[in-house]
Chain A
Amino acid sequence: MLVNPGPGTEPDIATPPLAVSLDQFLAGVGTRAFRFAEAGLRSRDDALDAVQDAMMKMLAYRERPAVEWTPLFWSILRRKIVDVQRRQRFRLRWLRPEGEGEAEASLDWADAALGPSQSHAQREAYARLVQALRGLPARQREAFTLRVLEELDVADTARAMGCSEGSVKTHLSRAREALQKQLEEFR
Chain B
Amino acid sequence: MNPAHEHDFDTRERQAHAAALAQVSPQVLARLRMARRQVPASPRRAWPWLAATAFSGMLAVLIGLQWLPSAQAPVADQPAVAAGAAEAALPANTLLDENPDLYLWLASSDAPPLAME
Contacts and interface: CB of A to CB of B under 8 A. Distances in A.
Interface stretch (A77-85, A93-101, A108-116, A156-164): A108-116
B40 interface: yes
A88 interface: no
A171 interface: no
A59 B42 contact: yes
Nearest to B22: A113
Nearest to B37: A23
A125 B16 contact: yes
Main secondary structure of the interface of B (DSSP, over half): helix
Interface residues of A, number: 39
A119 interface: yes
B24 A148 contact: no
Contacts of B43: 59
Interface stretch (B26-34, B60-68, B100-108): B26-34
B57 to A, nearest CB: 25
Given A59-B42, A119-B23, A23 B36 contact: yes
A111 B23 contact: yes
B6 A113 contact: no
Contacts of A111: 23
Given A129-B16, A177-B1, A44 B10 contact: no
A56 B9 contact: no
Contacts of B40: 22-23
Interface of B: 1, 6-7, 9-10, 13-14, 16-17, 19-29, 31-33, 35-36, 38-40, 42-43
Given A35-B24, A108-B27, 5 more contacts: A23-B39, A26-B39, A110-B24, A110-B25, A111-B23
Shortest beta-carbon contacts, A-B, top 8: A52-B35, A30-B32, A122-B19, A126-B20, A110-B25, A149-B17, A125-B16, A126-B16
